[in-house]
Amino acid sequence: MDHLFAPDRMKYITEKKGEQCIFCPNSGREEDLVLYDGKYCFVILNKFPYTSGHVMIVPYRHICTPEDMQLEEWLEMVRLTVRSVEVIKEVYKPGGFNIGMNVGKAAGAGIDCHLHMHIVPRWPGDTNFSTVIGGVRIIPQGLDEAQKRMRPHFEKMEV
* The model's pTM: 0.77
Cα 155 from Cα 106, distance rounded (Å): 36
Instruction: Assess contact for 85 and 53: CB atoms under 8 A.
Output: no
Q: What is the CATH number of domain 22-154?
A: 3.30.428.10
pLDDT of residue 132: 47
The one-digit pLDDT tens for each residue of the chain (159 residues) are 555 566 666 665 555 555 678 887 777 678 889 999 999 999 999 988 888 999 999 999 999 899 999 999 999 999 999 999 999 999 999 999 999 998 888 877 777 788 999 999 998 877 654 454 456 666 667 788 888 888 888 887 765
Domain ranges across the chain: 22-154
The catalytic residue positions are 116
Residue 40's H or E segment, with its range, is none
Cα 92 from Cα 89, distance rounded (Å): 6
Strand pairing report for 96-100 and 55-59: unpaired
